[in-house]
Structure 1
């Protein structure tokens, strides 16, 4: 297994962006052993990302439960809402 240098550990410990990416990746697929270690190191010192992970897991579980229920086929967005949302997306895309 590759050894981590001290500066690599420091980069991981203070990289919330990478930690949140790994938290989300872990929920939809598998992460490598190195990624697991990086995430564990980060979470050991970052209470904000620990809370993010708990909340993200809770939200994902709630959405899975919602869409696995028999009533999930009845969940639909209102047509006017979809049109307004599409217009907002297009406006933002055109501004960049």
Structure 2
């Protein structure tokens, strides 16, 4: 890898977040692992993003695979409130 390539990797949060998500869903290549490792070494924001993303994915996975939550429904009162808010916004936009 040339120095110019390393500099591009080190300052590319968009690519790093893509690789973080890709890594959680499937495997990434050795080059991608290296690029991500280089970026994460210098970017605290992406390291935090990686931790938060992993936690969110774990919570969603647990929620979807938990037998006690097999049937999820919105509360009828909540649905009525949402419907009323939508209608109110639609009426406001007409005026």
Q: Same fold (TM over 0.5)?
A: yes
> With structure 1 as the length reference, what TM-score do the two structures score?
0.75
Residue of structure 2 equivalent to 1:39? 36
> With structure 2 as the length reference, what TM-score do the two structures score?
0.76
Query: Per-residue deviation at 1:75?
Result: 1.8
12, 16, 35: which one aligns with 1:15? 12
Greater Rg, structure 1 or structure 2?
A: 2
Paired positions, count: 81
**Structure 1 residue runs without a partner (length 5+):** 85-96
**Structure 2 residue runs without a partner (length 5+):** 84-95
Runs of 4 or more off by more than 4 Å in structure 1? Answer: none
Matches of residues 1-96 of structure 1 in structure 2 within 5 Å?
4-76=1-73
